[in-house]
């Protein structure tokens, strides 16, 4: 109540109104904080999904590289045998 008196708000109806407004603002801030937490958790899940997808794509790329390299080796060996 001291902050209201220091700001020049002296009578009880004005103090009551200010207290109600502050209560409403605090409730809205609480709701917004919860909403922000939900969005943050969602973004964290999406980030892990992207990391997982990147890892799977890396493994698939390695597999394709090795398969292509093995095919090139087989073809090179076949050409060497056919040239002899």
- Taking the whole predicted model, whether its pTM rises above 0.75 is answered as no
pLDDT per residue as tens digits for the range 4-57? 555 555 688 899 999 999 999 999 999 999 999 999 999 999 999 999 999 999
Alpha carbon distance 43, 4 (integer Å): 41
Spans of all domains in the chain: 2-83
Alpha carbon distance 42, 36 (integer Å): 10
- pLDDT computed for residue 1 by the predictor: 47
């Amino acid at each position: 109540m001291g902050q209201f008196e220091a700001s020049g708000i002296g009578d009880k109806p004005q103090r009551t109104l200010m207290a109600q407004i502050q209560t409403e603002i605090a409730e809205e801030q609480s709701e917004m904080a919860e909403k922000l937490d939900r969005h943050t958790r969602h973004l964290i899940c999406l980030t892990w999904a992207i990391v997982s997808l990147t890892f799977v794509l890396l493994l698939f790329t390695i597999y394709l590289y090795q398969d292509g390299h093995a095919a090139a080796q087989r073809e090179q060996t076949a050409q060497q045998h056919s040239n002899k």
